[in-house]
Structure 1
Amino acid sequence: MSDIVNVVSKKYLEQLQLHPLRTKAITAAVLIGFNDTLAQKLSGVKKLQLRRLLLMMLYGFNYAGPFGHFLHKLMDKLFKGQTGKYTVAKKVVLEQLTASPWNNLLFMIYYGMVIEGRPWSFVKNKIRRDYPSVQLAAWRFWPIVSWVNYQYMPQQFRVLFQSLVASCWAIFLNLKAGSVAIKKS
């Protein structure tokens, strides 16, 4: 078993080095697919909704992975040559004031309009009602994750680390973004 893990991790690291954007996009898609499967089961769905699962994976592949890739590259450019806890704190604050609100809002819009197929008026009302509590929860959870990420993770592993931690967060967001209609499936 450990031989398999070693071979897989070696191949993954090789792909991460050769094709970082593609590897991060695929990784995000796979992890979001796993998270959505778990979220569906936790929300009481009796039969796995394959369309929803694929749309979630598409979100991870087309947005979450690439966004994280470019965000961390940008952060390293903005704070080039700067190190230390003060720099890490600035990165965390900047990320929490820009990327965090944007990501949560975009996810809620995508989930409501694309995954659930709801009209904009429904999604807008759901965002008005739920977005503040989602964002407050994010600001309680993600700064710690971001601190660890910027302080201890090499740049090429930051999206992977964030994606792994996002497993818990995605389940929360999935359940928060989903409507009662999902349980009828």
Structure 2
Amino acid sequence: MSDIVKEAWKKYLLALQIHPLRTKAVTSGVLIGCSDIIAQKISGIKKLQLRRLLLLMLFGFAYSGPFGHFLHKLMDIIFKGKKGNKAVAKKVLLEQLTSSPWNNLFFMMYYGLVVEGRPWGLVKNKVRKDYPSIQLTAWKFWPIVGWINYQYMPLQFRVLFHSLAASCWAIFINLKARSIATKKA
């Protein structure tokens, strides 16, 4: 088994080197798909909702992976040559004040409009009601992830690490979105 894992990791590293954006996009799509399968099972859905799964994978592939790729490259440009705890804290703070609120807002709108197919008025009301608590919860979770990511991860692995953490976050936010929809139904 370990030979299979070693070979897969070797192939992943090669793909990451040759096609970094594509590899990060695919990785993000696959991981959000896995997290949605888990979220569906935890929330008691008997038959896997394939449309939902594919739309969430599309979100990871088309948005999350590429966004993370360019975000981390930009952060390295902004903080070029700066190291240490102070630089890491500034990166985390900048990320939490800019991309974190945007990503949560965008995901909630995507989930409501595209995945659930709800009209804009309902999605807007849901975002208005639930976004503050989701963002406050995000600020309890993501700064820790950001700190570890900027402090210990090489640039090429930051999107992978972020995507793994995002899988856990996606389970939470999927379940939150789903529970709200269930309460209204």
TM-score by length of 1: 0.97
How far 1:43 sits from its partner (Å)? 1.2
Deviations for 1:128-147, whole angstroms, at most 9, x for unmatched residues? 11000000000000001100
Letter in 2 for 1:23: T
Identity %: 72
Q: What's the RMSD between the two structures over aligned residues?
A: 1.4
Shift of 1:181: 4.3
Matches within 5 A, 1:149-164: 149-164=149-164
Structure 1, unmatched stretches of 5+, are none
Structure 1 match to 2:28: 28
Counterpart of 2:72 in 1: which secondary structure?
A: helix
Q: Which residue of 1 aligns with 2:142?
A: 142
Return the alpha-carbon distance in structure 2 between the equivalents of residues 45 and 88 of structure 1: 41
Partner of 1:9: 9
Aligned residue in 2 for 1:127:
127
Distance 1:180 1:133 in 2: 16
Determine whether 1:76 maps to 2:76: yes
How many angstroms does 1:166 deviate by?
A: 1.4
Q: Residue 180 in 1 paired to residue 181 in 2?
A: yes
Equivalent position of 2:59 in the other structure: 59
Write out per-residue CA displacement over residues 118-173 of structure 1, whole angstroms, 9 at most, x where no aligned residue. 00000011011100000000000000110000000000000000111112111001
CA offsets, 1:42-83, max 9 Å, x none? 111111000000000000000000000000000000011111
Structure 2 unaligned regions, length at least 5? none
- Structure 2: how far apart are the matches of 1:111 and 1:61? 15
TM-score, with length taken from structure 2: 0.97
Taking the aligned partners of 2:151 and 2:108, their CA distance within structure 1 comes to 29
Amino acid at match of 1:115: V
Q: Which moved more, 1:104-113 or 1:33-42?
A: 33-42
Matched residue, 2:98: 98
What amino acid is the match of 1:30? V
Matching residue of 1:116: 116
TM-fit CA distance, 1:180: 3.0
1:99-128 CA-partner distances (Å, limit 9, x unpaired): 000000000000000000000000011011
**How far did 1:176 drift?**
1.4
Paired residues, number: 184
CA distance in 1, matches of 2:141, 2:152: 17
Which amino acid letter does the alignment assign opposite residue 98 of structure 2? T
